[in-house]
Amino acid sequence: MHRQRINEMRNRKSCCRADSSKRENKMKSLKKLAGMIGIVILLCGIMTGCSGKRLYSEEELTQIHDVVGAVEQITKEFQYVIGGSIQSLLEDSSSRADLMDYVSTRKYDPDKKIIALTFDDGPSTDETNGTSDLLDLLEQYDSKATFFCLGNRLNDESAPLLKRMVELGCEIGNHSYDHAQLTKLDAKGVRDEIDTTNELIKKYSGRDCRIIRPPYGAADNDIVPANVSQPFIMWDMDTLDWKTKNAASVISLVEKYKEQDWDGAVILMHDIHPTTIEACKTIIPELVNDGYQLVTVSELAYLKGVKLEPGKSYWGIDEKSTETDY
């Protein structure tokens, strides 16, 4: 009888191991299936369960679409893929298990106006702590922005700033390596400026760069768009913060333009100037209090139904967006 019980216990353990093996095989099959689907996938919370992170329900994850940084809006729930497509993430086995690290779930109110603040020439790592203070301000008001960074400012010192941008749901764009006027370069020069900066953004932020702002807005020849595989993001309004370097002047100009219909506007500023950061301490809370939602460029494009295409320049991103194909 004792031997019979031992055999029964062994059989149960064997069955448990078999069931466990089946579950593991099933999980592997599901992951492979997700990788094959690529552009449109349905994810379950179990993908993050093994890492001890919170489980995401099927309703929260819904369908994720590969549309230049943004994903499907379901009612007022907005999910945003930061700096990378679902397909590219799935192809990277190191990130596949933690796919939800790349997705932040946000609330979006379709009845409110949206606007994209963009900051060029950073990040600032000097004693003024400009970029860091700006990120504090954005976090305080639950707002996002897009940072067009220079490659020669991306290093071990600035890496924490890039990682924090990602954590806050901000977007990182390419502003060339050393602020070169791309239209004055040959094909190799253009590629070096852009490709080097793309690689540095990936290295220090962990995210692919999907958009570019050419210095001086100069992309209007045949060479530049032919050698860049990303859309060129320009602006609706230049605050002239780079010229005046005066917080009151920047605030006054923004107040003047705000009297117009700013829904869908892209605003140009620079996070390397302390006066700009000082101005933002007034501008950001006022925009929020006036009912604006501050989003990234890719979010703005998606929500306005504008598909950003490589090699094309966008002077503003809304229903009246000016799209230039060189």
Q: Which residues are catalytic?
A: 120, 270
Residue 47 token pair: 């993908």
All residues at 6 or more sequence positions from 187 whose CB lies less than 8 Å from its CB, including other chains: 223, 226, 227
In whole angstroms, how far apart are CA 154 and each of 66, 73, 175, 196? 27, 33, 11, 11
142 neighbors 292 (Cβ within 8 angstroms): no
Cα 229 from chain centroid? Answer: 17
Q: Which among 234, 258, 253, 255 is positioned nearest to 243, based on CA atoms?
A: 253
C-alpha–C-alpha distance, residues 50 and 122, integer Å? 37
